[in-house]
Amino acid sequence: MTETHARPPCYILGIETQIGLSLIRELGKAGIPVIGIATGAAAIGLQSRYLTHGEIIHHPRTDKGLAELRALGERHGRGYLLTVSEANTAWLIANRNCLKPLTPLLPPEEAFAIVLDKGRTLAAAAEIGIEVPQSASPTNWAEVERVARNFPFPAVLKWADPNTVAPALHAAGLELIKAEYAYSTDDFLRTAERYRALGHWPLVQEYCAGVGLGQFFFMHKGEAVRRFQHMRIAEWPPEGGFSSVCDAVPLTRFTDLQEKSIRLLQRIGWEGVAMVEYRYDPASGRAALMEVNGRFWGSFPLAMYAGAGFGLLAYSLQGQGVMPQLPQLREDLRCRMVATEIKRLKRILLAPGEIRDRPFKVRPVHEVMRFLGDFLRPSVRYYVWSARDIKPFLRDVRNALGI
């Protein structure tokens, strides 16, 4: 039997991580019925008190999976569908007309294709005056050798579109590595040789010193209706990856860069939520664009705690065409993922030689003091832990212990 609600439910596909969990919490606290959709019983989001219903689909990103989503819509009622991963976003974009009675809230197809391709994103950014790292994209071995002779190493090697290359890497028995470092021509050639039989090579990008600076926007009809930004305080792996600790940054900072980020999203034709990520060097003031993430991001809990309301904007504005009431942003918060911090501390304290970024400063005493001190700071929040919603944390601990 189809349920009826005063407000249409929001279906959230992908509640295995803190991202989906934070969407559940944000929307549930706003009084919106939330149907959480996982791909397994261990998903931490299934334990949230803010869920109206938790469901499992068994065949994601297949025709059977589409049928499962439609069946959930028939069971729980017509509503809006959000997802958090790029793979699921691409799948839903390709099948957006096959989901009734669900209405997926998705970016435009061409805009999404641009942000998936780092090369196209960097080219668009350079055209509007955003500083981008020098890059090269070899497509054959002769070009690999040309890059080796001419590129100003050190460099970072990363796949232009990881989702596209992942199946080929898997078939070849190769690991998908998010970022690799090459400090010399020989370093680069050794890494490139690994992919020679595959016939595909990562994007070669100038090494940029600094820390991660994320600027977040909700774009609606070409305008930024909400913005937020944060600075990464600690990352996993330590030399750079994703946030394990991040701080909200007042919007009075980096104002010119915010406007450039908005122009980039307008140039791409973006609609909905997006993260524009830079590598910011406090010593020089340089901010170089790394990528645009056209999805809800790993450190989304900080934005949720700060009252940015990006999930609520997707539901209300992108879905219903109504601008919701949003609170004043909190710009004094820090958010952390303790489990990842412990893993990071273990690397720094016990295996610093495994840190691949040679300029990374290993400061064991500083790291331990900050880690311990954050437990005493009243402005610190947590990616998963919440005293008002404890069960997801307990499920997360069980998952970590393999119970």
What confidence tens digit (pLDDT) does each residue in 41-63 have?
Answer: 999 999 999 999 999 999 999 99
Q: Let me know if residue 2 belongs to a domain.
A: no
Q: Let me know if residue 264 belongs to a domain.
A: yes
Q: What CATH number is associated with residue 79? A: 3.40.50.720
Q: How confident is the model at residue 4 (pLDDT cuts 50, 70, 90)?
A: very low
- Stretch 283-290: mean pLDDT: 95
Res. 251: pLDDT tops 50: yes
Q: Let me know if residue 145 belongs to a domain.
A: yes
pLDDT of residue 178: 83
Q: What CATH number is associated with residue 163? A: 3.30.1490
Residues 305 and 326 in one domain: yes
Last residue of a domain, one of 164, 190, 206: 206
Q: Let me know if residue 397 belongs to a domain.
A: no
Residues 159 and 266 in one domain: no
Residues 226 and 361 in one domain: yes
pLDDT of residue 1: 34
Question: Over the stretch 119-148, which tens digit does the pLDDT of each residue have?
Answer: 899 999 999 999 999 999 999 999 999 999
Which tokens is 228 given? 């937020």
Residues 63 and 100 in one domain: yes
pTM: 0.92
pLDDT of residue 77: 97
Residues 357 and 331 in one domain: yes
Q: Let me know if residue 281 belongs to a domain.
A: yes
Residues 324 and 192 in one domain: no
Q: Let me know if residue 38 belongs to a domain.
A: yes
Last residue of a domain, one of 206, 228, 260: 206
Q: What's the alpha-carbon Rg for the chain, to the nearest Å?
A: 21
Residues 236 and 341 in one domain: yes
Task: Tell me the C-alpha distance between 112 and 272, whole Å.
Answer: 11
Task: Tell me the C-alpha distance between 82 and 71, whole Å.
Answer: 16
Residues 188 and 252 in one domain: no
pLDDT of residue 3: 44
Residue span of the structural domain in which 41 resides: 10-105
Structural domain count, the chain? 3
Residues 27 and 138 in one domain: no
Q: How confident is the model at residue 164 (pLDDT cuts 50, 70, 90)?
A: confident
Q: Let me know if residue 228 belongs to a domain.
A: yes
Residues 99 and 232 in one domain: no
Q: Let me know if residue 46 belongs to a domain.
A: yes
Q: What CATH number is associated with residue 342? A: 3.30.470.20
Res. 356: pLDDT tops 50: yes
Contact 275, 246 (CB under 8 A): no
DSSP 3: -
Contact 219, 225 (CB under 8 A): yes
Residues 233 and 371 in one domain: yes
